Chain A
């Protein structure tokens, strides 16, 4: 198949990406606007960024958000990896359908339902709402995304290496940690990153499950957005976008490095076989 850029394909790609990126670009550009008005360009300025650092409430919220995301993503990665193992490796067992349903439903479940139901659970068991309830809620919904990411890797995985390890006398646990985990490690890392960003981003579930003691950054941004557009929100948004963009770029660079290395190894093996 000839693959080249035809005019139609190029136009489609250019328009698609323009639609995806122009709003974000505008947001970033206007975070450097001297003027407080969105449509008037008053010259270049970084004063809104300086203002952010002095906004203690905002900094507090950012710190809370990062801690919630870090803890919940770590929990979600462990749970999600286990869930993926159950789905791919454990074969049939009683209640498997229910389990896979419970893993896939949260992926599309409207956040208002997940948020409300978790809140009512915490109220029913009299759990003090605040930092830890957000962590538990986030771990629960992000573990499903983590499970899907790891599951994809486990599915196209050559099981014979695991079998070889077991035949050579390795226990299932040793096999997992010494053979399986190193091979699926990139997907476990991307599962963690995905869980982390989903948690950073979440407004709805955090709003339902939090108490008076914990406010996250999206909740803070949301309460300001309702009052209108300000360059300050643009500035904090730009920081978050930059943060995520750098993370994604590094992650994709790493996976590409890894796949070229795997490719080289495969070629070396092929060359050796000849």
Chain B
């Protein structure tokens, strides 16, 4: 009996606060926008009885979705979100790999400390870490001041409020998410395999590509998912660092909701974003499950 209670409490909680809200988002995405509180007309009323619901269901149109697909602004925002997320995931991987590799090869007694220093920024506020870059990147900021003083450039670079700033922001903020799974998989590699390769005359770079790299693929996969999926829907970074130039769907959703107060369109944007992300989310979970089972 108690077993069912332990299952029921978190189960019901997640149904109520996670699954049902999504169904509501879908429902609202089908309703009409209106200037009132709340700013939409319900499409169907569950208390009205089955017959009424059936006729109302027959009248449903996916007007908001047509609207989103016909407006270039939205499709462009989806594409550019995916592109920005993919490119920054790749850059994050390039920066994280040497760091994770160095950590996994460091003396054993150093490793917990190094780990802690990778995790520490993750615990400090995301918003603050993004904010820290404004002072560095803006036209009269520290990076430009440094480069001008060194004589590398003669005119300040415009980085703030461009897509470049968004790349920097995403790579910076999500770096720990990439380093941790990479480190976990690199650290597990049996050192004897590398010694065997060396003894058999393999040069270091060849050992890396033929032994280390293939064995670190689970870490690469996990890290890329952990960065890519949230980066697609990122709001804070493009909003603070990207200015008006960067189109990203999280920002579009936010402004539909808070500035235009168009809840149905915001909901439709959310449903489409979720449809885009459902494939990587399920793939990620599947990969995680497989590596967990392989680990046993």
Q: Per-residue 0/1 for A243-261: is the Cβ within 8 Å of any B Cβ (1 yes, 0 no)?
A: 0110110001000100000
Residues of A bordering B, CB below 8 Å? 1, 3-6, 8-13, 15-17, 19-21, 23-24, 26-27, 30, 38-39, 79-80, 82-83, 85-86, 90, 93, 95, 99-106, 108-113, 116-118, 120-121, 123-124, 136-137, 140, 143, 147, 172-173, 194, 197, 200-201, 203-204, 207-208, 218, 221-222, 225-226, 228-229, 233, 237, 240-241, 244-245, 247-248, 252, 256
Shortest CB-to-CB span from B291 to chain A, Å, is: 13
Q: Contact at A248–B116, with CB atoms within 8 Å?
A: yes
User: Interface-forming stretch among B55-63, B65-73, B212-220, B233-241?
Assistant: B233-241
Known: A3-B106, A39-B135. 11 other contacts (CB 8 A): A4-B107, A9-B105, A9-B106, A12-B101, A26-B132, A105-B281, A109-B229, A110-B235, A117-B25, A172-B3, A207-B258
A106 to B132, CA, bound (A): 27
Q: Contact at B6–A90, with CB atoms within 8 Å?
A: yes
Shortest CB-to-CB span from A242 to chain B, Å, is: 10
Q: A24-B132, A222-B127 are in contact. Are A105 and B18 (CB under 8 A)?
A: yes
Q: Which residues of A contact B176 (CB under 8 A)?
A: 20
Q: Which 7 residue pairs spanning A and B have beta carbons closest together?
A: A110-B233, A1-B191, A16-B99, A117-B21, A12-B98, A9-B102, A12-B102
A12 to B102, CA, bound (A): 6
A124 to B129, CA, bound (A): 35
Q: Which residues of A contact B226 (CB under 8 A)?
A: 108
Q: Contact at A23–B127, with CB atoms within 8 Å?
A: no
Q: Contact at A99–B14, with CB atoms within 8 Å?
A: yes
Pick from A121, A173, A245: contact of B124, CB under 8 Å: A245
Q: Contact at A229–B135, with CB atoms within 8 Å?
A: yes
Q: Contact at A240–B124, with CB atoms within 8 Å?
A: yes
Q: Which residues of B contact A80 (CB under 8 A)?
A: 10
A112 to B272, CA, bound (A): 13
Q: How many residues of B contact A (CB 8 A)?
A: 92
Q: Does B263 count as interface, using CB distance less than 8 angstroms?
A: yes
Q: Contact at A24–B13, with CB atoms within 8 Å?
A: no
Q: Per-residue 0/1 for B263-296: is the Cβ within 8 Å of any A Cβ (1 yes, 0 no)?
A: 1001100100110010001001100100000000
Q: Which residue of B lies closest to A218 (CB)?
A: B127
Q: Which residues of A contact B132 (CB under 8 A)?
A: 23-24, 26-27, 237
Q: Which residues of B contact A233 (CB under 8 A)?
A: 131
Q: Contact at A116–B266, with CB atoms within 8 Å?
A: yes
Q: Contact at A23–B136, with CB atoms within 8 Å?
A: yes
Residues of B bordering A, CB below 8 Å? 2-3, 6-7, 9-11, 13-22, 24-25, 28, 38, 95-96, 98-99, 101-103, 105-108, 112, 114, 116-121, 123-129, 131-136, 138, 140-142, 145, 172, 175-176, 179, 191-192, 194-195, 225-226, 229-230, 232-236, 240, 250, 253-254, 257-258, 263, 266-267, 270, 273-274, 277, 281, 284-285, 288
Q: Contact at B134–A229, with CB atoms within 8 Å?
A: yes
Q: Contact at A39–B133, with CB atoms within 8 Å?
A: no
Q: Contact at B234–A110, with CB atoms within 8 Å?
A: yes
Q: Which residues of A contact B15 (CB under 8 A)?
A: 102
A22 to B229, CA, bound (A): 27
Q: Contact at A124–B24, with CB atoms within 8 Å?
A: yes
Q: Which residue of B lies closest to A87 (CB)?
A: B10
Q: Which residues of A contact B125 (CB under 8 A)?
A: 200-201, 218, 237, 240-241, 244
Q: A8-B102, A112-B250, A237-B131 are in contact. Are A3 and B3 (CB under 8 A)?
A: no
Q: A108-B229, A248-B119 are in contact. Are A113 and B236 (CB under 8 A)?
A: no
Q: A5-B106, A12-B101, A21-B121 are in contact. Are A112 and B6 (CB under 8 A)?
A: no
A240 to B283, CA, bound (A): 36
Q: Contact at A208–B257, with CB atoms within 8 Å?
A: yes
Q: Which residue of A lies closest to B109 (CB)?
A: A3
Q: Contact at A116–B18, with CB atoms within 8 Å?
A: no
A233 to B21, CA, bound (A): 35
Shortest CB-to-CB span from B234 to chain A, Å, is: 7
Shortest CB-to-CB span from A52 to chain B, Å, is: 14
Shortest CB-to-CB span from B99 to chain A, Å, is: 3
Could you say which of A99, A105, A203, A252 has the most chain B C-beta atoms within 10 Å of its C-beta? A105
Q: Contact at B9–A90, with CB atoms within 8 Å?
A: no
Shortest CB-to-CB span from B103 to chain A, Å, is: 6
A208 to B9, CA, bound (A): 25
